[in-house]
């Protein structure tokens, strides 16, 4: 790990990120905008799965998902910029690994939902309640995404990396 | 006035307490609130722009209640973050830019809510009123601007 961190820090890309003073704040700003898109749109769908917004059909509630995916793509790319720029800040920071774990949980949850439960909830129309399994996936998703947010924001304060 | 604010016990605790429950948690809650306010707002705005037309605008009404609670959280945590560093923050032009953007964005949110309540759209696929579309673009830009100004407070 440390060999990789040292190698990454020495790359031109990493140094360019660190030496251009505007890159970091610009990526942070985009990271926060992407965060809002993911939380808002995924959160809305999750709340429908849990049983709120019942007058909206599950299928209709997921129609905004491309914006969440765009927000996630934005955050994945800006997140990579942070990692490449200052890998030493993250490699040994427990908050970062909690964040990665929460991301993995959110991703795994979504993948299982899509392949297993998703097909059944497609038919949950306006006014209908969702099956218990769908509610469980909604709860895990919303908890995992807020956990990603919380550990990301806590990064500079946990451990001594920053 | 700013120096007095900064010297109060509460401000000193926010700024100097080594506890994760002080500054770090307050800042994190401010980000949680941001995600809910701007995210819920974006859901309404994208719908007004014509996406997810099968969702009736009126059925999105509960989002405004969530925005209100999250905004209250951010006003509270925002005041705490401000008093902890009042002398510096009160002299930052970008702080006033952020506040102004938030006030106009709030006006947008209230105007949007009024349109949705009065519009009472019929079931099925109706197109968004064009005034709503303009408000939606304005709202998205203002919130993105407020986020940018907020983030830049750490740098300017």
Distance from CA of A66 to the nearest CA of B (A): 10
- Supply the ipTM of this predicted assembly: 0.94
Between CA B71 and CA B74 the distance in angstroms is: 5
Whether the predicted pLDDT of A54 surpasses 80: yes
Which of A28, A31, A44, A69 is the best residue to mutate to test the B interface, defined by the most B CB atoms within 10 Å of its own CB?
A44
CA distances (Å), B133 to each of B20, B44, B65, in order?
42, 10, 21
pLDDT digits (tens, 9 = 90+) for B35-70: 999 999 999 999 999 999 999 999 999 999 999 999
CB < 8 Å to B35, chain A? 35-36, 38-40, 43, 146, 149
The string over B86-117, giving b where at least 16 C-beta atoms fall within 10 Å of a residue's C-beta and e elsewhere, is beebeeeebbebbeebbebbbebbeebbebbe
pLDDT digits (tens, 9 = 90+) for B109-150: 999 999 998 875 554 444 556 788 999 999 999 999 999 999
Whether the predicted pLDDT of A142 surpasses 90: yes
CB < 8 Å to A43, chain B? 35-36, 39-40
Instruction: Check residues A159 and A26 and name the one with the higher pLDDT.
Output: A26
Q: Are the Cβ atoms of A52 and B39 closer than 8 angstroms?
A: no
Distance from CA of B52 to the nearest CA of A (A): 5
pLDDT digits (tens, 9 = 90+) for A106-119: 999 999 999 988 77
């Amino acid at each position: 790990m440390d060999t990789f961190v040292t190698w990454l820090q020495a790359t031109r890309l990493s140094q360019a990120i660190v030496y251009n003073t505007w890159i970091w704040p610009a990526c942070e700003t985009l990271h926060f905008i992407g965060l809002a898109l993911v939380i808002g749109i995924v959160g809305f769908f999750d709340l429908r799965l849990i049983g709120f917004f019942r007058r909206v059909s599950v299928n209709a509630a997921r129609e905004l998902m491309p914006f969440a995916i765009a927000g996630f793509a934005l955050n994945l790319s800006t997140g990579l910029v942070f990692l490449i720029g200052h890998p030493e800040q993250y490699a040994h920071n427990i908050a970062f690994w909690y964040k990665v774990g929460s991301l993995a949980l959110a991703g795994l949850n979504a993948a299982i939902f899509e392949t297993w439960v998703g097909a059944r909830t497609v038919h949950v129309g306006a006014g209908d309640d969702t099956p218990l399994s769908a509610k469980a996936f909604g709860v895990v998703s919303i908890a995992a995404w807020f956990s990603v947010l919380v550990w990301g924001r806590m990064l500079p304060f946990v451990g001594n990396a920053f | 006035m700013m120096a007095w604010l900064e010297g109060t016990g509460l401000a000193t605790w926010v700024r100097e307490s080594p506890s994760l429950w002080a500054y770090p948690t307050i800042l994190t809650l401010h980000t949680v609130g941001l995600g809910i306010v701007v995210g819920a707002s974006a859901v309404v705005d994208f719908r007004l722009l014509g996406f997810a037309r099968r969702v009736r605008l009126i059925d999105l009404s509960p989002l405004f209640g969530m925005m209100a609670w999250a905004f209250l959280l951010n006003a509270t945590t925002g005041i705490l973050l401000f008093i902890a560093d009042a002398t510096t923050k009160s002299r930052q032009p970008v702080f006033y830019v952020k506040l102004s953007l938030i006030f106009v964005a709030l006006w947008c949110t209230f105007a949007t809510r009024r349109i949705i309540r009065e519009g009472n759209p019929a079931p099925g696929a109706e197109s968004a009123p064009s005034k709503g579309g303009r408000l939606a673009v304005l709202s998205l830009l203002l919130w993105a601007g407020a986020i940018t100004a907020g983030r830049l407070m750490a740098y300017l």
